[in-house]
Structure 1
């Protein structure tokens, strides 16, 4: 019988679920705070169920010699070393939808508390004062709410705001016009949202693209007297800039449930009468905690007893028999998706995956899910091959799968076609010696391996471009690993895909974009 350790405070309903499904369980809700004790006992367990207190980092994973799965009751997995788990063959699961409603409700509650000055009025009244004139609030009726990130939680917030008769403007690169109409919101770019919103609430994961999305520059674009809410992740908001703009009166108030450094026991915004602050309570309701506890117990038990994988952040949903043959194709599909996703800046409408040749005989569902996950992951770091199709559908993105028995030049090939609001982009790949390779981009034949750090450019096919690009990289001290080229025809459009040894800085990227004949330049990471 597999054995699971519950090392954080989960609803005890989870214990019952584990036992009902044939899993032995030890419920030790304070053990996760004792790092040394956790290290001493983890070797006895097949599974570890946690919330946020337990730090399942590399030493714990290394000590867990029998460990097969780590389950996070909730969304965020900052306390789990996913690369270490992957290297050790440990599946990492979370429950991405268990606390969506309660987090959205908290954002709405924070909005009312902020604009009606409820915490301040409450404190004053408890002190025996009766200061009606000191707490003049603001109505939300008829106001414009700007929702940054209109996925699972953001769409619930938007729905509640529409019910309050607010005008809702949403910014989300993956939100289609059709989905926006269904939600009753207006889709807009970020600058438009910031210029029009009376209240801004952010509901995105923390990724390289979303980090500091409410920067000093973006906060300055808000109209004077606007309000700001962050119940998503610390790091999305420039807290120092927010303080300055509150002091200057440019921003009227802020409601924060999350902070860049947590626990936030000492913060420059604490004590500010314009700020409502709570200690990361977004998921803190009885219903949400019960839901995520039951879900993680069900998922972990299903994996340990039957081998079923769901809501995994690092493992494909495939059977043991299929895994060896599918594994390299899963890697190819995900990398093709990541390539296209990093180049897509406007709203996605459709993702089509075309399989040609021998690959058409395989179980294609995990391959398509891997491709979709690759497309979405640059903006949504918590996406995985299990939840990627659901997330795509939530944003109104259609997914199509086409199978062709014959392949023109290869035994097997995957073609990925991305349709956005402004263009259609294609990229194709195959396996060479079991390793993923790109063989076509936008109809241009080329052969290129994937590397951790790459530069993608499109340019006019003119003499001197290759030398100018190489010189720019050389002057920046950037070592070139491979340099792959392709073109439509002589003097037409051309593509360069360059593998380099280090990440490309923003300054270097701007220099490349300024080179003669360059029409696009994007830094890629795989």
Structure 2
């Protein structure tokens, strides 16, 4: 009562936790760069920076997906900001809280305690954290109660009954009950990747998103591509699994207005899918892709109005900077020093001496420290990385 809880990740589960703790008279603050301040205010939650949350909260509860950006998000620097009476709870994914940094903070008495249901390596049978009496640990089974198993069985039975009776199954990957045309199917994974790249470029959930589909496939029902785009947009934003069923619900919950735009004319490509969105500050973000050749190979062909030609596979990174000599070499040098191999690279610019874009694929994820080194070397205006391999 009257304590402050900090929710790290205000997705579906984070919202549920916030609602329940608010009912007990707790003050709820949250960190989530993908949630609009207006949406948080509706929930009675105040959005703050992560450093401020760590310093102000009496209880810190983590509810984030595990991505390249969130691994190690709560490390030594963040834990050093905590009150000595604070308690950290991670029941989301292992690795988001740096376990070594947590061990040091507990050993030095800089934290009151911790609750852990997840670990960086699972199953975790031995950890220095187990030595503390003020650490409660469960083997990623915190929700595996008799009641939960019974509810899961009932839910499965209910879904089977609905399917056998020909009704909509709410938790199925169901595309409005319609058949997807063969010519549309190859564009589904491409569009999902475009959604993930869009979110990485935006750095937040857009307020408006247009899914533009051009070319021959518009003679078919392409509604599934809108759903695929939304699935990609939210895959790296929310903790829960995103499906073609819940993606529109996530968009509605987060105030994202979506529109499907089709045009039979496609001047440069047989078919083209573009995701074009407007952010809270009015900035525009766009990403386009197409399929080429008889094998329908995926190609990334446009980023924020820059023309590119890159296969959207594995780990990608994007840098926007003032066009000048030596920048491509600097990227190669820094990545080489970090033993990161470049698979493909494209350089584009709006005009000579203006802004330039480097888009590249690499064989392994680029650590945040390496991205920071590249950004500093280039004095980059935009640095983004995304993993579309999973």
Alignment TM-score > 0.5, same fold:
yes
Q: Per-residue displacement from partner, 1:12-47 (whole Å, max 9, x unpaired)?
A: xxxxxxxxxxxxxxxxxxxxxxxxxxxxxxxxxxxx
Task: State the alpha-carbon separation in 1 of the partners of residues 311 and 139 from structure 2.
Answer: 46
2:190 aligned counterpart, secondary structure: helix
2:132 aligned counterpart, secondary structure: coil
Structure 1 residue 213 displacement after superposition: 3.0
Paired position in structure 1 for 2:257: 398
Task: State the alpha-carbon separation in 2 of the partners of residues 262 and 483 from structure 1.
Answer: 36
Structure of larger gyration radius: 1
* Alignment of structure 1 residues 76-225 onto 2, 5 Å: 141-225=1-85
2:183 aligned to 310, 325, 339, which one?
325
Paired position in structure 1 for 2:215: 357
Structure 1 residue 368 displacement after superposition: 1.2
Q: Which runs of 5+ in 1 are unaligned?
A: 1-140
* Alignment of structure 1 residues 301-340 onto 2, 5 Å: 311=171, 317=175, 321-322=179-180, 324-340=182-198
Report whether the alignment pairs 1:426 with 2:311: no
Task: State the alpha-carbon separation in 2 of the partners of residues 486 and 453 from structure 1.
Answer: 19
Paired position in structure 1 for 2:153: 293
Q: TM-score, normalised by structure 2?
A: 0.84
Structure 1 residue 303 displacement after superposition: 7.0
Task: State the alpha-carbon separation in 1 of the partners of residues 214 and 68 from structure 2.
Answer: 34
Distance 1:180 1:230, change over 3 A: same
Structure 1 residue 373 displacement after superposition: 1.6
2:182 aligned counterpart, secondary structure: helix
Distance 1:262 1:467, change over 3 A: closer
Distance 1:238 1:410, change over 3 A: closer
1:519 aligned to 377, 381, 384, which one?
381
Q: TM-score, normalised by structure 1?
A: 0.64
1:435 aligned to 297, 303, 310, which one?
297
Paired position in structure 2 for 1:231: 91
**Count of aligned residue pairs for this structure pair:** 384
Contact 1:146 1:169 in 2 (8 A): yes
Moved more, 439-448 or 185-194: 439-448
Structure 1 residue 330 displacement after superposition: 0.7
Q: Per-residue displacement from partner, 1:217-255 (whole Å, max 9, x unpaired)?
A: 221121232122223333333334333323322212223
Structure 1 residue 146 displacement after superposition: 0.3
Moved more, 292-301 or 414-423: 292-301
Task: State the alpha-carbon separation in 2 of the partners of residues 515 and 243 from structure 1.
Answer: 34
Paired position in structure 1 for 2:316: 454
Report whether the alignment pairs 1:499 with 2:361: yes
Paired position in structure 2 for 1:465: 327
Q: Per-residue displacement from partner, 1:313-338 (whole Å, max 9, x unpaired)?
A: xx774879525222211122112112
Structure 1 residue 186 displacement after superposition: 0.4
Contact 1:458 1:520 in 2 (8 A): yes
1:482 aligned to 331, 339, 344, which one?
344
Distance 1:525 1:242, change over 3 A: closer
* Alignment of structure 1 residues 59-74 onto 2, 5 Å: none
Contact 1:144 1:168 in 2 (8 A): yes
Task: State the alpha-carbon separation in 2 of the partners of residues 290 and 164 from structure 1.
Answer: 28
Structure 1 residue 161 displacement after superposition: 1.6
Distance 1:499 1:211, change over 3 A: closer
Q: Per-residue displacement from partner, 1:415-474 (whole Å, max 9, x unpaired)?
A: 212333343211122222222222222122333332323332212122333344445455
Q: Per-residue displacement from partner, 1:199-227 (whole Å, max 9, x unpaired)?
A: 11112233333333332222112123212
1:513 aligned counterpart, secondary structure: helix
Structure 1 residue 305 displacement after superposition: 9.4
Paired position in structure 2 for 1:376: 234
Distance 1:233 1:450, change over 3 A: closer
CA-atom RMSD, angstroms? 3.2
Report whether the alignment pairs 1:251 with 2:98: no
Paired position in structure 2 for 1:9: none
1:147 aligned counterpart, secondary structure: strand
Q: Per-residue displacement from partner, 1:342-373 (whole Å, max 9, x unpaired)?
A: 22323543332122333333323321121112
1:275 aligned to 129, 135, 148, which one?
135
1:456 aligned counterpart, secondary structure: strand
Contact 2:207 2:257 in 1 (8 A): yes
2:302 aligned counterpart, secondary structure: strand
